[in-house]
Structure formats: C-alpha cells, structure tokens
Amino acid sequence: MKLWSILGNSQKLDGGAMFGNAPRAMWQAWSQPDDENRINLACRALLASPLNGKTVLFESGIGAFFEPKLRERYGIQESNHVLLDSLQAAGFSHEDIDVVVISHLHFDHAGGLLRAWSEGQAPELLFPNATFVIGKEAWARAVHPHPRDRASFIPELQPLLEASGRLELVDGAQCQALGDSVRFHYSDGHTPGLMLAEIIGSEHADQAPHGGLVFCSDLIPGRPWVHVPITMGYDRNAELLIDEKRAFLEDKLARNVHLYFTHDPDCALAQVQKDARGKYSTTHEVPELHARAL
C-alpha cells in the first residue's frame, strides 16, 4: 500500500476563531496572521492504494462549490477544484476512487465531493464509482443541524449522497467497505460523531495494532492543536474535546500511531511525543507524502 497527501483548496480564517480562548500573543508564534487577522489553513486529504484491495480517499476538503461571494467570505483562495488537480498529479482521477471516507459533513471536509461552482448549474456529486463512508451520528447532525453550526453544512449534499445508492453509514469500529484494514474512533467535542479513521499497522503478539496512522480531522487540525488545552472557537464542547484529545493522544503514543493533519499548511504527518511534564508535541514531521509506504 502507498500513501499520498492530496491538497485541496486552501483557506484563510480568523486566527482567534481557530485558536479559541488562546491569546493572540501565544498563537501568532505558531501561525502568523495577515492584516485581517487570518491564518493559512490547508484542506488536505489522504489517498491510500491499495487498501483492502481498493483505492481510498480520506476526506475531500472544501472544494470549489461555493459561489464567488461565499468563496470570499470563507477565505477560499482558489476558484478551481484543487483536489481534482492534486489527484491527477498523483496519477488518479476522481473516477478511480473506490471509497471516500468523510469524518463529518462540515463543508471544509465534504465540499470537495461536489463539482466546482458554475453559474446556473445545480450542485453535482463527483466520485461516481465510490462508496461514501460516513458516521451515523455525523450524518444525523448534518440532516438535522443545530443552529450553532447549521451554516457549516451543505443542504444539497445529503440528498445527493443518499440518492447515489452508495452511502454506507457506520456506528462501529469497522465498515463493510474497508473491513479490518481501517478502525474508526469517535469524538463529540468538535461535532457529534466525528469519525477518526485509523489505517491499521502491524499486529503484535497481544493482537493490539501498532504503527499505522490516524486521520485526526478536527479533533487535532494541525500541530499547534496537539497541545491539549488548545481548542477552536468552532468546537461544540471544548472541555469534552480536551478530555477526548488527551485520551486519543495517549493511545496513539502508546501504539506509535502517526498523526495525519488536514488543516496544517506545512505538515501532513508526524509522530506524537510527550515530555517529562506531560506536554504533548510532534516529532519526525513530514510535509507531504508521495507514494510513501506505510
């Protein structure tokens, strides 16, 4: 199996929103803001092939489905569908993808499932040969959103996914499409039912999987958020997220599972470490993956 980091459309969002109650004096050392207080963010997907005999895309980024006015509002930097270009550069088309795994249906993770905006044209679903794997609780949140995050969802997307006949909703550790090769973890601090996909590494004698990598999604958007107290203003329940993150990192450290970041503009993959004071950070940071073995 080989892995590729697949960049989608990038964003600039308010640094204060991205770092919650952390003061600017702290977070600007991690992410330098522009004149509008915005920081650079990636929307990075992960491509794995063959995984359980299939070509699998984890996440789809924000895509280019927004009309120009909304594209500007949400700080999207490119008008073309960058994810499709990145797939092509890796030697793939969206038609080659057998499975797409979506951690949750906020538009910056699921918008890339749609064709780029074109005036007068209705939204259209890409990936015509793929099974779409989504957590049941995340799906329910998207279908019946709370006013706090209603604007984070794409109303047209859920009906298109359902009508495709290729939607698999998951509420356990495995899914039918990927079998034992991927294990799912769940988190509720950012949004209900956030699904974190772990590509399983080797098995030790005790049958606990070691190695591998986990797609951290919005539980840990990038390296600065590995520090346990750092959360986003977008998180539904920051205190719960901190508790979930601590347990998540302790488990990944114990099993040497690498962290894969979607929103870090400069780092795709890293290992987690903990110092004598119990503070988590990253080491062995990798900016991009190109046909890399796990």
**Domain map (residue ranges) of the chain:** 2-293
Contact present, 282 and 267 (Cβ < 8 Å): yes
Higher-pLDDT residue of 132, 205: 132
Q: What is the pLDDT of residue 73?
A: 94
Q: What does pLDDT average to over the chain?
A: 95
Element (H, E) at 110: helix 107-110
Contact present, 9 and 82 (Cβ < 8 Å): yes
pLDDT at 256 over 90: yes
pLDDT range class, residue 294, cuts 50, 70, 90? confident
DSSP state of 266: S
pLDDT range class, residue 205, cuts 50, 70, 90? very low
Contact present, 25 and 37 (Cβ < 8 Å): no
**Percentage of the chain exceeding pLDDT 90:** 96
In tens, the pLDDT along 144-202 reads 999 999 999 999 999 999 999 999 999 999 999 999 999 999 999 999 999 999 999 75
**Percentage of the chain exceeding pLDDT 70:** 97
Class at the top of the CATH hierarchy for domain 2-293: alpha beta
pLDDT range class, residue 204, cuts 50, 70, 90? very low
Tokens of residue 239, six digits: 């205190």
Q: Where are the beta strands (DSSP E) in the chain?
A: 2-7, 11-14, 38-41, 44-51, 54-58, 99-102, 131-135, 167-170, 182-187, 194-199, 202-203, 209-210, 213-215, 258-260, 269-274, 280-286, 292-293
Q: Where are the beta strands (DSSP E) in 15-162?
A: 38-41, 44-51, 54-58, 99-102, 131-135
Q: Measuring CA to CA, how many Å separate 80 from each of 4, 60, 62, 64, 157?
A: 20, 14, 11, 6, 19
Helices (H), 133-194: 136-143, 157-164
CA-to-CA distance for 35 and 12, rounded, in angstroms?
11
254-293 in b/e form (b: 16+ CB < 10 A) is ebebbbbbbbbbebbbbbbeeeeeeebebeeeeeebeeee
- For 136, the 3-state DSSP assignment is helix
Q: What is the pLDDT of residue 211?
A: 85
Q: What is the pLDDT of residue 202?
A: 59
In tens, the pLDDT along 233-247 reads 999 999 999 999 999
Tokens of residue 250, six digits: 């302790």
Burial (CB count within 10 angstroms: exposed 0-12, middle 13-18, buried 19+), residue 164: middle
CA-to-CA distance for 160 and 124, rounded, in angstroms?
8
pTM above 0.75, yes or no: yes
Whose structure tokens read 């959360």?
231
Contact present, 7 and 266 (Cβ < 8 Å): no
Helices (H) and strands (E) in the chain, counts: 8, 17
In tens, the pLDDT along 62-118 reads 999 999 999 999 999 999 999 999 999 999 999 999 999 999 999 999 999 999 999
